[in-house]
């Protein structure tokens, strides 16, 4: 380096995890999901949960019962004399959307049955295993259904957590069954 050249300060790049623009980008979604897993795992460990079994699926999946109810609701809108043309068109679009997802109903129902069997097993052996659903149980009714009394067991209070994502398709999932000190911090 000659005497007239200035020495430039070293360039220290910002760490990617400190860039909120990157962390909140679509490209970093996988990283955010992993953070949700790890942070939730830490909270579960503080509650004595040693093992977890999670089922993941589509936020758009419905049980056979939910599918039938949704189809009936949309069909009733179409058949109602009080519905506007716009409401009927929207109902037709929803029916088409439901039909495209109908194949998920059997999967949803079977995973629910498997979840129930695994829960019964965990309760029988007083295991610390928690069985739950990620996107599987996306609404309040599904959380309540998932927490109903397990056949053959005495009714008792069972702690429940909701493992939710920031997926805009899933929407918020309030869970009145959840244990507040295991839920996400505010």
pLDDT tens figures, 82-104: 999 999 999 999 999 999 999 99
Q: Pick the residue with more confidence: 137 or 49? A: 49
Q: Pick the residue with more confidence: 179 or 35? A: 35
Q: Pick the residue with more confidence: 151 or 127? A: 127
Other Cβ atoms within 10 Å of 144 Cβ, number: 14
Residue whose token pair is 């996107």: 135
- Rounded Cα gap, residues 172 and 103, in angstroms: 24
Burial code (b: 16+ CB inside 10 Å, e: under 16) for 131-143 equals bbbbbbbbbeebb
Q: Pick the residue with more confidence: 130 or 111? A: 111
Task: Using CB atoms within 10 Å of the CB of residue 96, give its burial: 0 to 12 exposed, 13 to 18 middle, 19+ buried.
Answer: exposed
For the chain, percent of residues with pLDDT exceeding 90: 29
Phi, psi of 145 (to 5 degrees): -60, -40
- Which tokens belong to 97? 């959307």
- What per-residue confidence (pLDDT) applies to 168? 53
Phi-psi category of residue 77: left, alpha or beta, with phi > 0 → left and psi -120 to 50 → alpha: alpha
Residue whose token pair is 């000659």: 2
Whether the model pTM is above 0.85: no
Residue whose token pair is 């918020």: 172
Q: What is the DSSP string of 16-84?
A: GGG-HHHHTSGGGHHHHHHHHHHHHHHHHHHTT--EEEEE---TT---HHHHHHHHHHHHHHHH-TTS-
pLDDT bin (cut points 50, 70, 90) of residue 50 is: confident
- Rounded Cα gap, residues 87 and 73, in angstroms: 12
- What per-residue confidence (pLDDT) applies to 122? 76
């Amino acid at each position: 380096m000659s005497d007239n050249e200035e020495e430039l300060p070293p360039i220290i790049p910002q760490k990617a995890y400190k860039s909120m623009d990157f962390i909140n980008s679509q490209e970093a979604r996988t990283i955010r999901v992993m953070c949700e897993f790890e942070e939730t795992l830490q909270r579960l460990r503080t509650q004595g949960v040693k093992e977890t079994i999670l089922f993941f699926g589509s936020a758009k999946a419905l049980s056979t019962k939910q599918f039938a109810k949704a189809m009936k609701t949309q069909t009733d809108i179409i058949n109602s004399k009080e519905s506007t043309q716009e409401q009927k068109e929207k109902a037709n679009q929803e029916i088409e959307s439901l039909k495209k997802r109908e194949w998920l109903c059997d999967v949803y129902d079977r995973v629910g049955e498997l979840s129930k069997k695994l829960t019964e097993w965990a309760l029988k052996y007083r295991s610390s295993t928690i069985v739950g659903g990620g996107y599987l149980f996306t609404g309040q009714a599904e959380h309540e259904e998932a927490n109903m009394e397990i056949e053959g067991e005495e009714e008792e209070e069972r702690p429940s957590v909701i493992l939710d994502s920031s997926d805009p398709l899933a929407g918020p999932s309030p869970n009145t069954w959840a244990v507040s000190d295991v839920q996400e911090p505010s």
